């Protein structure tokens, strides 16, 4: 199988799989138990938290563990809304992940907040000035993704952070698609919240991270026994936490070389796609290097994805969280891409596990399928 759907999920590093097995079968103690077994497991969580903080260049007390990025996003957005005071305006982009857009819609129903969604430019990137122009004395929160999961385009999260640093407005960055694909470090980014997901960078599923800047007002997301310093109750996913800390370390150590290799492999796909008269929807100069979104007019994206899958090639059409509803086409359409072109798009997302031989085999299969199915 040739796996090219790495923005949906990634294979675990071998070291990660070993840790999951170890902490599931051998070191399986409850980290909140008062016996020595539990205390040692709790110490391992502390070590993992510190390791993640060091990798992200922040304080260990700013790292909180959740079940996934969606939970992390919910926590950041709902907590900010709780502390909004008399202000009621949220600014985001229209191409955010559904975890952001649908959570804000729910908060609008619950709290009556006003949501302003800024559309991207034709290159699929939001103009930071358009966000800044929307900020006024009614604004209590801005939420923006660092890199779009459908196109890979990098959004102006740094510029917005710099501007908001002069205000008391809550700022959340959806950083899910950054690790292993982008040089992302919290020491030079001004934000209150940043959300991550372990399985996007060769860690396990079922573990998320929320960075909460020291001093930020935050409300518990889950109440109960008071784990995660009283802010997120529930027995911790020990294997997931420790495995994710290792996955993050490996991803950062390999980042430079992997980015060079993935960019080279993506260019092979770009050139063959152009020969097949594909329309490149990704801004190749301003995107994470592992991602390519391309449309083949006259051939529905889902049809092509299914055909490739039948030939042992796994690609995608969008976020895995929305692929069974609208296919993530809204991201392309909000950038002004016609619906008939957006519906013909597929997303190809690489990882460090892909080889040049695989990519050469893939583009041959792609050419065969496009020529066979195109009308």
DSSP E strand boundaries for 126-192: 139-145, 170-174
Q: Please provide residue 90's backbone torsions phi and psi, each rounded to the nearest 5 degrees.
A: -120, 135
Render 133-144 in DSSP notation, one character per residue. HH--TTEEEEEE
How many distinct helices (H) and strands (E) make up the chain?
Answer: 12, 12
Render 293-315 in DSSP notation, one character per residue. EEE-TTS-HHHHHHHHHHTTEE-
Burial of residue 340 (CB within 10 Å: 0-12, 13-18, 19+) is exposed
Q: Among 12, 58, 68, 321, which one carries the catalytic annotation? A: 321
Burial of residue 375 (CB within 10 Å: 0-12, 13-18, 19+) is exposed
Number of C-beta neighbours around residue 57 at 10 A: 12
Cα angle: 248, vertex 309, 13; to 5 degrees? 20
Q: Name the token pair of 324.
A: 């069974």
Instruction: Give yes or no for a contact between 118 and 95, defined as CB atoms under 8 angstroms apart.
Output: no
- Please confirm, yes or no, whether 321 is among the known catalytic residues: yes
Instruction: Give yes or no for a contact between 92 and 142, defined as CB atoms under 8 angstroms apart.
Output: yes
Instruction: Give yes or no for a contact between 38 and 49, defined as CB atoms under 8 angstroms apart.
Output: no
Q: Give the 3-state secondary structure of residue 147.
A: strand
- Residues with catalytic roles: 321
């Amino acid at each position: 199988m040739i796996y090219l759907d790495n923005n949906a999920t990634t294979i675990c590093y071998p070291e990660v799989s070993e840790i999951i097995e170890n902490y599931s079968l051998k070191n399986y103690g409850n980290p909140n138990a008062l016996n020595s077994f539990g205390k040692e497991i709790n110490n391992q969580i502390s070590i993992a938290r510190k390791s993640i903080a060091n990798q992200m260049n922040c304080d260990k007390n700013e790292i909180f563990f959740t079940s996934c990025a969606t939970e992390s996003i919910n926590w950041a957005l709902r907590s900010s809304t709780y502390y909004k005071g008399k202000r009621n305006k949220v600014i985001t982009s229209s191409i955010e992940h559904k975890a952001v857009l649908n959570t804000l819609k729910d908060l609008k129903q619950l709290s009556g907040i006003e949501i302003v969604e800024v559309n991207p430019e034709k290159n699929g990137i939001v103009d930071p000035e358009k966000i800044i122009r929307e900020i006024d004395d009614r604004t209590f929160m801005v939420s923006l993704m660092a890199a779009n999961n459908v196109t890979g385009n990098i959004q102006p999260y740094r510029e917005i952070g710099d501007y908001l640093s002069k205000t008391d407005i809550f700022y959340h960055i959806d950083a899910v698609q950054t690790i292993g694909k982008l040089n992302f470090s919290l020491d030079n980014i001004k934000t209150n919240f940043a959300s991550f997901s372990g399985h996007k960078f060769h860690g396990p599923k079922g573990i998320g991270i929320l960075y909460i800047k020291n001093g930020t007002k935050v409300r518990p997301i889950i109440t109960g026994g008071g784990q995660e310093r009283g802010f997120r109750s529930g027995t911790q996913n020990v294997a997931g936490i420790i495995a994710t800390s290792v996955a993050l370390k490996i991803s950062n150590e390999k980042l430079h070389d992997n980015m060079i290799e993935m960019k080279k492999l993506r260019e092979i796909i770009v050139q063959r796609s152009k020969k097949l008269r594909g329309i490149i929807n990704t801004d190749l100069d301003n995107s994470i290097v592992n991602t390519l979104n391309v449309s083949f007019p006259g051939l529905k994206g889902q049809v092509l994805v299914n055909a490739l899958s039948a030939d042992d090639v796994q690609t995608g059409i969008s976020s895995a969280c929305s692929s069974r509803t609208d296919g993530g086409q809204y991201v392309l359409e909000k950038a002004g891409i016609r619906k008939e072109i957006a519906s013909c798009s597929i997303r190809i997302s690489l990882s460090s596990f892909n080889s040049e031989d695989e990519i050469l085999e893939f583009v041959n299969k792609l050419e065969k399928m496009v020529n066979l199915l195109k009308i």
